[in-house]
Amino acid sequence: MRTRFAPSPTGPLHLGHAFSALTAWQRALSARGIFLLRIEDIDHSRARLEWETLIYEDLQWLGLTWPEPVMRQADRMAAYSDALDRLWHAGLLYPCSCNRRDILAAASAPQDGAPLTGPDGIIYPGTCRAKHDRRGARPTEVALRLDMAAALKCIDEIAFTETGAGPSVETGLIAVSAEFMRTRVGDVVLARRDMGTSYHLAVVVDDAAQEITEVVRGEDLFEATPIHVLLQRLLGHPTPSYHHHRLIRDETGKRLAKRDDARALRLYRAEGKTPADIRELIGLS
């Protein structure tokens, strides 16, 4: 069993991150498995080295260690580029020049009512799908979308094992239909113009490279999992099992976000709290 904690260095770790990291750690320990760390820093405009350094300090303070070198996504651009090339040459990607306003305008045709949203926001109405030639070299410096209908023709099924639970307590074998993928997920972006990759692509390529067998993460990412499973199928990677866990919320029931500095681990540390106190605060003791 190999699992990982994959924070983005865009702010301080808070109680929600501690819950996720400790859950993964505990599951690795019980299975005599391996706990790994990955720094998800593809968003260069928001990632900061000082947050990365603080991640190492906070995790070490919690008592966590990782036996293999930390994987940093900033070092992995060639691997993302290879994966994109493969999808491009299979004819499954197309360039998209729409901005948010274009998408909203095209998706809000009056007869259709409010636009449907999926894991990445409004489901792309397909404006650029047939506009560009898909032959030749893969274009860079543009956003690339997955042609969902074409991708679904290349695979037989989208299914994964959930050992935790999704937001509506989905658990066990989860299968998602092609119809759902077409209408409720749509043509997701796999390379952002400003990044040359996307969260979905990077997470799939990196989970495969780190040979992850169980992904432990918050239930907010349950919805994105069918996209990840589809990409694993298209790229020939094994599908790990997934363990989505509850989110840590504030007293009003809102999930903690990076801006919830008040619950940053570094502040608890500075106050003299112990890792045992943290476990108690998040219901893990």
Residue 14 CB, nearest distance to ligand GLU (Å)? 11
52 binds ligand GLU (CB under 6 A): no
Bridge partners of 5, per DSSP, are 37
Determine which residue in the list 40, 41, 58, 214 makes contact with ligand GLU, applying CB under 6 A.
Answer: 40
Strands 93-96 and 143-146: antiparallel
The secondary structure of 160-208 as a DSSP string is EEESS--TT---EEEEE-HHHIIIII-S-EEE-TTTSS-HHHHHHHHHH
Selected range binding ligand GLU among 4-12, 79-87, 92-100, 268-276, rule: CB under 6 A: 4-12
- Tell me the two tokens of residue 176: 């998602």
Residue 221 CB, nearest distance to ligand GLU (Å)? 5
DSSP code, position 110: G
7 binds ligand GLU (CB under 6 A): yes
Name which of 37 and 107 has its Cβ closer to ligand GLU: 37
Selected range binding ligand GLU among 2-10, 27-35, 235-243, 270-278, rule: CB under 6 A: 2-10
Name which of 91 and 167 has its Cβ closer to ligand GLU: 167
8 binds ligand GLU (CB under 6 A): yes
If binding means CB under 6 A, how many residues of this protein chain bind ligand GLU?
7
Name which of 134 and 192 has its Cβ closer to ligand GLU: 192
HSE-up of residue 185 (Cα within 13 Å, Cβ side): 28
36 binds ligand GLU (CB under 6 A): no
Selected range binding ligand GLU among 1-9, 106-114, 159-167, 188-196, rule: CB under 6 A: 1-9
Selected range binding ligand GLU among 3-11, 98-106, 168-176, 261-269, rule: CB under 6 A: 3-11
6 binds ligand GLU (CB under 6 A): yes
- CA–CA gap between residue 198 and residue 206 (Å, rounded): 12
- Other beta carbons within 10 angstroms of residue 237's beta carbon come to 19
203 binds ligand GLU (CB under 6 A): yes
Per-residue interface string for the shown chain with ligand GLU, residues 206-225, x marking contact by CB under 6 A: -----------x---x----
Strand order from edge to edge, sheet including 34-39? 2-5, 34-39, 71-72
The secondary structure of 206-269 as a DSSP string is HHHHTT-SEEEEEGGGGGGHHHHHHHHHHHTPPPPEEEEEPPPB-TTSPBP-TT-GGGBHHHHH
243 binds ligand GLU (CB under 6 A): no
Torsion sign across C-alpha atoms 39, 44, 49, 50: negative
Residues that bind ligand GLU (CB under 6 A): 6-8, 40, 203, 217, 221
